[in-house]
Amino acid sequence: MRRIDVSAVNPIARRNASGVTILAEAAQGYEGEPTLARLLVRAAARGGADMVKFQIIFADELAVPGYRHYQLFKQLEMSSEAWHKVAEETARSGIAIAFDVYGERSLSLALEVGASAVKIHATDFFNHALVEAALRSAPQVYFSAGGIEIDEVDEFLRRHAPYAQDKLTMLCGFQAEPTAPGDNNIARLAVLRQRFPSLPFGFMDHAEGESDEALWLGVLALPYGITAIEKHITIDRSLQLEDYVSAVAADNFSRYVKRIRLAEAALGTSDLTLTEAERAYRRRAAKVVVAIRHVPRGNIVRATDVRLLRASLDENQRPYHRLEAVVGRPTKREVAPERPVLEEDLA
């Protein structure tokens, strides 16, 4: 089959334009049904996600036949043709597609259908061959550090640095089906950023889908400079599809996205230069030096001639905010009562 061109939905370009990349985590919620998978794509697009992410499951890449979930994994398997159609749905919907991959077969299929990124699940954190293959061939690579010791992350980064080429993003958080609020430890992001200053970070939000925090928890990670948020999505929670426990439906996903974007706007910039809005506030709110009596041209301004008061100012006027900057100086032109003393008024 032909490789799908998804260059128009580059998640990195989206992130640069609109802030963090928001991944709608469909995970295994498609239950091996191509129609459900395409509906999840539409839900993700409707909810405002930048990218929808699925897990490509081939049972023999994940577990031995005797493993308790092996038969479930078999039921989740879909054909290459089905995944191509899912990818085509994402292209039509204007969002990117990504996949959790668990071996050479799923990685190859993800690339074949035009994945903008792949994710190395914590399951495969120690699968060095898969990580290296992903870094060599995928446009971007996310890796989950849930349940991984910090020294193991150090080793991981040292080992894979030659292949990384600025492709790696570390996703923090874990799925406890669901993850209790106190188990998120979002404050760890500050320590991780100090330890790995050049590594992009993301947050995996696995709050219980019906909880209040399911609609705002991810906001707490924004001040730590994350570049991605992963949030589970489902078509309808009442259907109890696979991976629904930490998932929200499309309407609530949309609310979540709006809160993330609003919070990003509120965080703004660390540049201490006043914004135009702040300068406009300063013009309205700050008292300025105002003449309380007529001051003729050529007179020395006395303390009894002026006070600090609010006054209406044009945008291009340059008033004084300190009495000591005015008192004792001669005027170049007369200043009328109740008028601000401007820079051009004084010699």
Distance separating alpha carbons of residues 179 and 15, to the nearest angstrom: 26
Q: Residue 7: pLDDT band by 50, 70, 90 thresholds? A: very low
The identity of residue 308, as a single letter, is L
Q: What's the CA gap between 185 and 181, in Å, rounded?
A: 8
Strand, coil or helix: what is 62? Answer: helix
Supply the pLDDT for residue 18. 56
Q: What is the pLDDT of residues 27-51, one digit of tens each?
A: 999 999 999 999 999 999 999 999 9
| pTM reported for the whole predicted model | 0.86
pLDDT tens sequence across 268-284: 989 999 999 999 999 99
> Over the stretch 78-108, which tens digit does the pLDDT of each residue have?
999 999 999 999 999 999 999 999 999 999 9
- Average pLDDT rounded to a whole number, residues 166-178: 95
Strand boundaries in the chain, DSSP class E: 21-27, 51-55, 96-101, 117-120, 141-144, 168-172, 201-205, 228-234, 248-249, 288-291, 306-309
Q: Cα–chain-centroid distance for residue 175? A: 19
Nearest partner of 58 among 44, 79, 87, 41, judged by Cα: 79
Can you give the residue ranges of every domain in the chain? Answer: 8-267, 276-345
Residues 157-175 have a mean pLDDT of: 94
What per-residue confidence (pLDDT) applies to 167? 96
Look up the CATH superfamily of 8-267: Aldolase class I (3.20.20.70)
Residue 331 confidence (pLDDT): 98
Q: In terms of Cα–Cα distance, which of 81, 85, 14 is closest to 48?
A: 14
Question: 8-17, 181-190, 204-213: lowest mean pLDDT where?
Answer: 8-17
Q: Average pLDDT for residues 325-347, to the nearest whole number?
A: 97
pLDDT value, residue 165: 86
The pLDDT of residue 1:
39
* Alpha-carbon gap, residue 284 to 340, rounded angstroms: 13
- Collect all residues with Cβ–Cβ distance below 8 Å to 271 and sequence separation of at least 6: none
pLDDT given for residue 14 in this prediction: 38
Nearest to 87 by CA among 62, 51, 61: 51
Q: Could you tell me which of 129, 144, 116 has the C-alpha nearest to residue 202? A: 144
Cα-to-chain-centroid distance, residue 23: 9
Q: Using CA atoms, how far apart are residues 319 and 284, in angstroms rounded to an integer?
A: 12
Q: What is the DSSP letter of 342?
A: B
Mean of the per-residue pLDDT values for the chain? Answer: 94
* CATH match of 276-345 with 3.90.1210.10: yes
